């Protein structure tokens, strides 16, 4: 793991943005599902280069499913919500009142998972991407078909990609799962992000 922020204050401000985005997502999910939804940020890490390659390999060894949200503009890259497959199935079953039956994600369950991931990722990126002109543009969220390592490779050399890893705990009613939000920023995007964060830190100080 390597810190990429220009200052400790900048790192803390990024974490504040992540927390604010997660809280926003929890509020939207609670209202949409009419259920008690709690999203907690357990850990925020920053990766680049060899550390990012190692992180991708670690994730590759787990049975995960996920949702991806591509974005471009002043910030470009892709945001991922990754969940253990078994936990994701249980969560979707609980949300849809589906019968457990199978431990796999069929098309209906995948659609539900994409909707859930869309709220979470848009909540987080909506806060992180605020303050940019022109605005950050987002694609439609889709389920994660490709392995994380392959997705990372498609962004270019690992030295040119920087990631923010957010370990989260999601509790919906009595159902709890721990997942990860992984934000992959293309070359140049992180520098622009730190410029905006630094400007906001300067205004508040």
pLDDT in tens, 175-192: 788 899 999 999 889 889
Mean confidence (pLDDT) of the chain: 84
CATH of the domain at 159: 3.40.1550.10
Question: CB neighbours (10 Å) of residue 93?
Answer: 18
Highest mean predicted confidence (pLDDT) among 1-5, 151-155, 198-202: 151-155
Residue 1 domain-assigned?
A: no
**What's the number of domains the chain is made of?**
1
pLDDT band at residue 1 under the 50/70/90 scheme: very low
Q: What angle do CA 31, 32, 34 make, to 5 degrees?
A: 60
Most confident residue range from 55-59, 78-82, 94-98? 78-82
Answer whether residue 2 is part of any domain: no
22 has pLDDT over 50: yes
The pLDDT value recorded for residue 137 is: 96
150 in a structural domain = yes
Residue 195 lies in a domain: yes
What's phi and psi for 108, nearest 5 deg?
A: -70, -45
The parent domain of residue 32 ranges over 8-204
d(CA 50, CA 68): 23
Q: 108 lies in a domain?
A: yes
Residue 197 lies in a domain: yes
Confidence of residue 202 (pLDDT cuts 50, 70, 90): low
| 110/88 Cα distance (integer angstroms) | 9
């Amino acid at each position: 793991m390597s810190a990429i922020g220009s200052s400790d204050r900048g790192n803390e401000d990024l974490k504040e943005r992540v927390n604010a985005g997660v809280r926003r997502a929890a509020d939207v999910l609670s209202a949409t599902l009419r259920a008690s939804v709690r999203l907690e940020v357990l850990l925020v890490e920053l990766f680049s280069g060899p550390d990012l390659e190692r992180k991708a390999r670690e994730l590759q060894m787990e049975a995960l499913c996920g949702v991806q949200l591509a974005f471009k503009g002043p910030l470009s890259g892709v945001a991922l919500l990754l969940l253990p497959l078994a936990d994701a199935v249980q969560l979707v079953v609980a949300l849809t009142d589906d019968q457990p039956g199978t431990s796999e994600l069929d098309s209906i369950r995948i659609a539900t998972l994409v909707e859930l991931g869309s709220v979470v990722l848009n909540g987080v990126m909506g806060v992180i991407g605020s303050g940019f002109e022109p605005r950050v543009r987002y694609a439609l969220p889709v389920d994660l078909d490709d392995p994380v390592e392959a997705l990372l490779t498609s962004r270019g050399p690992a030295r040119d990609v920087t990631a923010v890893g957010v370990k989260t705990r999601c509790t919906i009613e009595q159902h709890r799962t721990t997942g990860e939000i992984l934000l992959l920023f293309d070359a140049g995007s992180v520098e622009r992000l730190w410029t905006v964060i630094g400007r906001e830190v300067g205004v508040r100080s």
